[in-house]
Every structure is written in C-alpha cells, then in structure tokens.
C-alpha cells in the first residue's frame, strides 16, 4: 500500500463515504491544456475569470455516456448562479472548503450532484448555507490554516450522485509520488468556462521539494503539495478536493489553497492538509 491509513480512517469507509458509483453522464468535452491566467490562486472571486484544473480532462469519462461520478464534489455559487469555488461533501450537513473563498451565508449557495453546469436535466440539490466557520488561525497574508466548514440549512439527501468523501485521520501519512486526483470547473486553453467537471491526476510532492519551489517559510506543516507534472489546480478550483484512493475508497487529503499566478503546470500547487485539521473538523461538527 503506497500510503498509510490509520484505523480511524478505515472506520470511516464502513459508513459509506468515499465510494464512487457508475452513473449516466454525457460524453466529455475538451481536454485541459496549459493556460495563461491573471491573478493569484487564493482570494479570487472574479467569476468571469476562474480557470480550473489545468492539464486535465472531463471528469470520470470512460466511454460513451458512462462515468464514475465524484459524488462529493460541490460547486459554491453566488446568488446569480456563478461558480466561484469548489468544496466537498463530508456529511449530510457539512461542506469542507477553503477559508480564502470567503463564502457568505445568505448570499452564496452549495450545488451538489452537478456535472454539466449548463444542463437542466441533472438531479442536483441546491442548498442554502446557514453557517460558515473559518479556522480561527487562518492567515490571509500567508494563507496558512486555509480551511472552512459550511453548515447547510437542511440535510443532503444521499443518492448515487451525491454522497460524502472520507477524511483521513490525524495520523495519516502520504508518501511523495503517490498519484492522487484533483477536480473542478473552469477555463481550458480554448474555452473560458467549460460546462463539465474536469479532473487530473497529480503526484504528491515532498515538503522538502515544495519548499525548494516556494521557500522554506512559505510551506508549513498545515500544507501539502502536489503537481509539477503537467497538471495544476487554479483559481476556480479553490476549496475543492485533492483526493487519494486506497482499496477502492477515496480520502480527501487536501483542499485547493494557492499556487503560481499563471497556474504553471511545472510548479506544485499548495493544498491545505486535511489530516492536520481532522480534530478541529470533528470538534466543530460536534459542537454545531
């Protein structure tokens, strides 16, 4: 086994999280290529320019109209239906995302079960947000502790297209080189706002190598890096998942946080390390 999962993480799989199912989807569209994007990865809410997974392709497509879904993928949208950040369903009442997305309860919404954002035929669920809880030590300047929890105004109904992802325990360790997956919506090289969810496979990058790219003081223990291999997360992916699979079960190991201003695919992207915040996540959910 390439990466280590503690007993606590294995228990989560028995609760029905982290399992992808075969569902009907339309055939995919344009594969991702390198792009040129303005701005920086974190703190962007410019929904007119939200490039996403660079170097990837349509999510889950196998052949024809069949695909394995990413049933925990959430689109966080404005009241006008504009996608600006991603997120992950972790229970029937909670979404995990990035603090820098600055989600606003009462104005923003969570959309689940979506694949093609231009389709009116998908069995989606649109949820209001009753509460946004940002980590108390989140630092806007350094983007450290970039994690937030969104409590939904009503529970999600679990279906074949909507179900939670598993979270790793606090003791989970992932070896550099492990291949994991990123997902999200946004611009390709030729399409500024693709309709279908995109995905790409990226390797985990060691802390030492990531610090060579970004500087020793920029990468903390609360972060994990991946990429520098022809694919990259970018602005519209913020808050979405970096996920790894073990024995058929998917675990969210990272939250899209920050990276190169032009989403360069030869530089690693920095993700919030989920295992580092597992106890905080559990405590917030218990108290709220």
More confident residue, 53 or 196: 196
Tokens of 41: 């990865």
d(CA 205, CA 189): 25
State yes or no: pLDDT of 243 exceeds 90: yes
CB-hemisphere CA count at 13 Å for 241?
A: 30
CB atoms within 10 A of CB 148: 25
* Average pLDDT for the chain: 81
Tokens of 40: 């920086």
Q: Is 63 one of the annotated active-site residues of the chain?
A: no
Burial (Cβ within 10 Å: 0-12, 13-18, ≥19) of residue 204: buried
**Whole-number CA gyration radius for the chain:** 17
The CA distances from residue 76 to 5, 27, 80, 84, 260, in Å, are 29, 24, 11, 6, 22
**Confidence label for 263 from pLDDT (cuts 50, 70 and 90):** confident
Q: Is the separation of the CB atoms in 242 and 224 below 8 Å? A: yes
d(CA 21, CA 5): 22
Percentage, residues of the chain above pLDDT 70: 76
State yes or no: pLDDT of 25 exceeds 90: no
Average pLDDT on 23-37 reads 38
pLDDT of 121 reads 87
Q: Is the separation of the CB atoms in 77 and 27 below 8 Å? A: no
Residues 6+ apart with CB under 8 A from 218: 142, 211, 270
More confident residue, 26 or 228: 228
Q: Is 281 left (phi over 0), alpha (psi -120 to 50) or beta?
A: alpha
d(CA 18, CA 251): 6
Q: Is 238 one of the annotated active-site residues of the chain?
A: yes
Q: Is 173 one of the annotated active-site residues of the chain?
A: no
State yes or no: pLDDT of 194 exceeds 50: yes
pLDDT tens readout for residues 126-146: 999 999 999 999 999 999 999
pLDDT tens readout for residues 97-111: 999 999 999 999 999
Residue 149 CA, chain-centre distance (Å), reads 13
Residues paired with residue 180 on neighbouring β-strands, in sequence order = 202
Catalytic residue among 238, 246, 257, 275: 238
Chain position carrying tokens 């939904």: 152
CB-hemisphere CA count at 13 Å for 195?
A: 11
pLDDT of 120 reads 86
d(CA 285, CA 66): 35
Q: What is the dihedral of CA 68, 168, 256, 267, to 10 degrees?
A: -100
Catalytic residue among 100, 135, 163, 260: 100
Catalytic residue among 146, 169, 233, 257: 146
pLDDT of 54 reads 56
Q: Give which of 152, 168, 159, 171 is closest to 103, Cα–Cα.
A: 152
């Amino acid at each position: 086994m390439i990466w280590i999962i503690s007993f606590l993480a294995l228990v989560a799989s028995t609760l029905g999280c982290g399992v992808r199912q075969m569902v009907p989807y339309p055939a995919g569209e344009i594969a991702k290529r390198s792009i040129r994007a303005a701005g920086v990865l974190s703190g962007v809410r410019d929904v007119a320019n939200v490039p996403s997974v660079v170097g990837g392709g349509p999510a889950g497509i196998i052949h024809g109209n069949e695909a394995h879904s990413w049933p925990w993928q959430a689109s966080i949208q404005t009241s006008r239906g504009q996608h600006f950040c991603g997120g992950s369903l972790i229970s029937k009442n909670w979404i995990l995302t990035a603090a820098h997305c600055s989600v606003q309860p009462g104005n923003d919404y969570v959309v689940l079960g979506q694949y093609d954002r231009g389709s009116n035929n998908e069995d989606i669920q649109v949820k209001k947000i009753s509460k946004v809880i940002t980590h108390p030590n989140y630092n806007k300047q350094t983007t450290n502790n970039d994690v937030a929890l969104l409590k939904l105004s009503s529970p999600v109904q679990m279906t074949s297209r909507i179900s939670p992802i598993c979270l790793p325990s606090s003791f989970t360790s992932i070896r550099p080189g492990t291949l994991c997956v990123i997902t999200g919506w946004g611009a390709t090289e030729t399409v500024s706002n693709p309709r279908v969810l995109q995905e790409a496979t990226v390797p985990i990058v060691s802390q030492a190598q990531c610090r060579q790219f970004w500087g020793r003081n920029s990468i903390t223990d609360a972060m994990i890096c991946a990429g520098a291999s022809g694919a990259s997360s970018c602005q519209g992916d913020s808050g979405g998942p970096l996920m790894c699979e073990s024995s058929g079960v998917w675990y969210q190991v990272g939250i899209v946080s920050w990276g190169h201003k032009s989403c360069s695919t030869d530089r690693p992207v920095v993700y919030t390390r989920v295992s580092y915040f597992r106890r905080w996540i559990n405590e917030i959910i218990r108290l709220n």
